[in-house]
Amino acid sequence: MSVQPIRALSRRALLIVNARSRNGKTSLDTAVEGLLRHGIEPDCRDCGSRNALSPLIAEHGRDVDMIVVGGGDGTLSAAAAGVIAAKRPLGILPTGTANDLARTLGIPTDLEEALRVIAEGHTRTIDVGSVNDQLFFNVASIGLSAEVAQELTPDLKRRFGKLGYAVAAMRVLVRARPFRARIIGGGRDVVSLTLQVAVGNGRYYGGGNVVTEAAAIDDGTLDLYSLEFLHAWRLVLMLLSFRRGAHTAKREVRDLRGPAFEIRTRRPRAVDADGELVTRTPAMFRVLPRAIEVFVPADRSHDDSPSLP
């Protein structure tokens, strides 16, 4: 599938930038100036909370030609339902910490270059994941990642940037213990003693880790892996494998593919989606195929081959 340019008839954009993200005010000014320079009139809207983002987009998104959102992966996933309702293409300005959706799509983290991608008008239609009706782009997890999301406070992000993930992860690994999860889907019904169950819609998560080697964001499929280790320290030996998506080749890692999964645990456990705690188990995961049109670089194919470090 090749990307196609959309015809720029009227050039108006609903612009929302997460002012709470690092350099939020500067990013907003850059976005406004850049859109105007490219002949796009921005309609700037303030959003006071994550929960208010999608309703705001759904209300005003149909009045413009595109929706431009600046922020991290959590902000973008919070915007997903509104973008679907508005039925307008999404422009991404990666101003967050990890920016894994931008990495999956090959969108530059430099704002001027990201604005150029939007202005050139080439789009790609991608899938969206859902867990208990909460939408996500990259991955949703139970176990270690959810605990890291709890540990990764805004203060930790401000102090350490991307290294904050490593700091939070080390704190979690010290106290991690396996738990039992029933996994239904992908043609299986199994009980797993696991440290983490992750369900990926996109390719990248956690600042550049790969969900699985086969993961793609427009294949209509979810990719699940379960880390069935008794001791969390073993994960330290697999860091390079996670960066390549080769961890699923390990004997202790279960991997499954399918359009839907159900995960049950003995007691409710937090579910993290794109860095935000959004729900608890029991959790029903689904894929929404070809749900959102996104601006991407002109030469970006649909195979999710890495293009950013």
When the pLDDT of each residue in the chain is averaged and rounded to a whole number, the result is: 87
> Does the pLDDT at position 188 exceed 50?
yes
Tell me, yes or no, whether 259 lies in a domain. Answer: yes
Q: Is 309 exposed, middle or buried (0-12, 13-18, 19+ CB in 10 A)?
A: exposed
> Does the pLDDT at position 244 exceed 90?
no
Measured on CA atoms in the order 23, 24, 26, 32, is the torsion positive or negative? positive
User: Average pLDDT, stretch 208-237?
Assistant: 86
Measured on CA atoms in the order 74, 76, 80, 82, is the torsion positive or negative? positive
State whether 25 and 168 are in the same domain: no
State whether 268 and 142 are in the same domain: yes
> Does the pLDDT at position 7 exceed 50?
no
Q: Which residue has the higher pLDDT, 234 or 113?
A: 113
Domain that holds residue 182: 134-289
> Sorting pLDDT into bands at 50, 70 and 90, what band is 255?
very high
Measured on CA atoms in the order 110, 34, 85, 6, is the torsion positive or negative? negative
Number of folded domains that form the chain? 2
State whether 152 and 99 are in the same domain: no
> Does the pLDDT at position 1 exceed 60?
no
State whether 255 and 140 are in the same domain: yes
191's CB contacts (< 8 A; 6+ apart) are: 180, 181, 182, 183
The torsion angles phi and psi of 300, rounded to 5 degrees, stand at -85, 115
| pLDDT tens-digit series, residues 82-113 | 999 999 999 999 998 889 999 999 999 999 99
Cα–Cα dist 293/46, whole Å: 23
Cα–Cα dist 159/164, whole Å: 7
Q: Which residues pair with 205 in a beta bridge?
A: 209
Tell me, yes or no, whether 309 lies in a domain. Answer: no
Tell me, yes or no, whether 60 lies in a domain. Answer: yes
Tell me, yes or no, whether 302 lies in a domain. Answer: no
CATH of the domain at 86: 3.40.50.10330
What dihedral angle (degrees, nearest 10) is formed by the CA atoms of 264, 269, 274, 277? 140
pLDDT of residue 164: 74
Q: Which residues pair with 181 in a beta bridge?
A: 192, 265
CATH of the domain at 206: 2.60.200.40
State whether 138 and 285 are in the same domain: yes
State whether 98 and 160 are in the same domain: no
175's CB contacts (< 8 A; 6+ apart) are: none
Tell me, yes or no, whether 77 lies in a domain. Answer: yes
Tell me, yes or no, whether 22 lies in a domain. Answer: yes
Coil, strand or helix at 228: coil
Tell me, yes or no, whether 300 lies in a domain. Answer: no
State whether 97 and 156 are in the same domain: no
State whether 164 and 206 are in the same domain: yes
State whether 104 and 151 are in the same domain: no
Cα–Cα dist 77/58, whole Å: 14
Tell me, yes or no, whether 305 lies in a domain. Answer: no
User: What's the predicted TM-score (pTM) here?
Assistant: 0.87
| pLDDT tens-digit series, residues 267-292 | 999 999 998 999 999 999 999 999 99
Q: The tokens of 245 are what?
A: 């998506």
| β pairing state of 253-258 and 204-205 | unpaired
> Does the pLDDT at position 167 exceed 80?
no
The mean-pLDDT minimum among 9-18, 47-56, 286-295 falls in 9-18
